Structure 1
Amino acid sequence: MEKSLEIIFDKLVYSCAFEQYRGDEEFVPDHFLGFQISGATHTFHDQGTTVIKENTVVFVRKNQLIRTIKHPSKKEKYQFISITLDREILQKYALENEISTDASFSDHEKLFFKSDEFFTSYFASLQPYIDKTKEGTPRLADLKIREAIELLLQSNPDFKNLLFDFSEPYKIDLQEFMNKNFMFNVSLETFATLTGRSLSGFKRDFKKIFDITPKQWLREKRLEEAYYLIKHTNRKAADIYLDLGFENLSHFYYSFKQKFGVSTTEV
């Protein structure tokens, strides 16, 4: 299965594949702007599934958990390009341009939209660096990131309240968050960060709410979900174990039998 992930220059990443493949579980710590050059990306997140189609621009906000499946088209390989808008450059841009937030950004949906002539021209201007016909310098990288910020603000001035909100994550409802995100195979440190807690605070609050340790709860929750999917939707264990946060199929079979007393084929 031929695929590649390449950092063209600082903050610019190009992904290419000739066959369908499943990406890793990802914690997105910084905002990024992406463009689906060809093929499609099926993105799973806490609100469901979003399909990013060819010639679509997507803005993914920071502090997200996502899982992706990358699909080439019938005629073209899979190609996706993304440019990271990290805290440092956003703070510098806000300071230089005297920008401050004046409200909360109220739209909590994932932001993706059909490319217009400005975004199309912007991403086309990155193609020579992907093709290696032009070298990307640090100064150029800085200019291209700033151009991306300008385009986002031009498309929606209210984006300033999202891009330039530098407040730390606040404590959110732990029970609601975990019930929406238990299937992501990420560290407890990541879960703690996303819920606005230190690791020790996360473990302490978790025990108060669930009366069980996070690792024990995650195992039980994932197995219960697996049982439901196998029994009521006729899904196969081999098709769901990765989606539920298990890394190894043999371990999943063992854990399932240990909890329910039957194999996955006996449910």
Structure 2
Amino acid sequence: MIKIPSQLMYGPSAQNSLTIEGCSVIEQCFRTTEEKGMMFLEEHVLLFVLQGSVSLILGTRTYTVGKNEMTLLKKATVVQYEKRGDSDGGHIYYGMMFSIKDDLIKSFLATTEKITPKGTDGETRAGVHTMTECLITFAASLSPYFQNSSEVYPGQLSLKMKEMLYHLGIGNHSIYQQLMQLHQPARIGVRHIVEEYYTSPVTIAELAHLSGRSLSSFKRDFLAVYNIPPAEWIRKRRLEKAREMLETTNLPVSDICFSLGFENMSHFSRIFKEYHGKTPSFYRN
């Protein structure tokens, strides 16, 4: 599982990237007929597909983002993906991933006049939006920045991000509204949040943010519902789920480990044995 954006920026397979006021833009350009994997989103991500296509699976939802289309992926979710190169263009996949932080949205809203949308919202299928000509041109204008990132001033990049938000507000208002609402998440029930995300490698602070609470408020509300601290509840719930998967599936132990948010096999095996009395492999046998 790849953590986005950190592993694409600083990991062993780092790709061209820019950092803008704590946000990041990652350029992905490679030749492939098919590339599969899983990614965990550390930040909200706006994905542009400029050549080729990518199929995404989020829980029970599956959809495909094609050439000159985009989608918004929310923070702290696990997404399965399958990228395909353009068969008419040398099997090239080309896309850009924009991580979006609260500070960027707050700064934009504080310094920008009200934007009046024009035309349609550009949504072609649920969750998938057509990029306007302005957005396609904007993406092309970023390409030189990746090649000479050391020569680009932070102020320039900040202006480019604001330019993108203007284009979204004018031509793709539906996805723009989704972005504007991200920095003020609605207050959601603690039970709903932890049941949905306990298998994802999220921190307690991220769960608090997703629920629309401060960390201290989230911990207090969690104790009121479950009567144990959230970290202890998540650990026990993951281990119970791991036992169930060992009994009812043929998945390799390593797949079960990583699908439940555990970071490494040795840690998973040790705490599984502490909780269930046997190592995962011995338990399955």
Distance 2:180 2:96 in 1: 23
> What's the TM-score, normalizing by structure 2?
0.70
The one of 38, 44, 47 equivalent to 1:34 is: 47
Give the whole-Å Cα distance in 1 for the aligned partners of 2:218 and 2:201: 17
Q: Partner residue of 2:228?
A: 212
State whether residues 94 and 100 of structure 1, in contact with CA within 8 Å, keep that contact through their aligned partners in structure 2.
no
Residue 228 (structure 1) shift: 2.4
SS of residue in 2 equivalent to 1:242: helix
Which residue, 242, 255, 258 being the options, matches 1:226? Answer: 242
Residue in 1 aligned with 2:152? Answer: 136
Superposition CA RMSD, Å: 3.9
Q: Residue 25 of structure 2 corresponds to which residue in structure 1? A: 13
For residues 47 and 80 of structure 2, the distance between their equivalents in structure 1, rounded to whole angstroms, comes to 15
Share of identical aligned residues, percent?
25
Aligned twin of 1:66: 77
Within the candidate set 161, 174, 180, 2:190 is matched to 174
Match of 1:117 among 133, 156, 160: 133
Q: How many residues align?
A: 257
Name structure 1 gaps, 5 residues minimum: 102-106
**For 2:98, which of 52, 68, 83 is the aligned residue?**
83
Match of 2:119 in 1: none
Residue 208 of structure 1 aligns to a residue whose secondary structure is: helix
SS at match of 2:271: helix
> Which one-letter code corresponds to 1:81 in the other structure?
M
3-state DSSP class of the match of 2:260?
coil
- Retained in 1: the 8 A contact 2:52–2:91? yes
- Candidates 148, 162, 166, aligned match of 1:146: 162
Q: How far apart are residue 177 of structure 1 and its match?
A: 0.8
Structure-2 change in CA distance of 1:259 and 1:191 (3 Å): same
Q: What displacement does 1:73 show?
A: 4.2
CA distance in 2, matches of 1:204, 1:88: 26
Q: Which residue of 1 aligns with 2:6?
A: none
Q: 1:56 to 1:232 in 2, by over 3 A?
A: farther
* Amino acid in the other structure paired with 2:78: R
Shift of 1:14: 1.8
CA contact (8 A) 2:132 2:171 kept: no
TM-score if structure 1 supplies the norm length?
0.74
Q: CA deviation at 1:253?
A: 2.0
| CA distance, structure 1, for counterparts of residue 178 and residue 72 of structure 2 | 11
Equivalent residue for 2:14?
4
CA drift at 1:55: 4.5
Show CA shifts across 1:29-56 (max 9, x none): xx55332345766766567566655543
Q: Take 1:26 and 1:136, find their aligned partners in 2: how far apart are those partners?
A: 26
Q: In the TM superposition, what is the alpha-carbon distance from 1:243 to its structure 2 partner?
A: 1.8
- The answer to whether the 8 A contact 1:32-1:59 is kept is yes
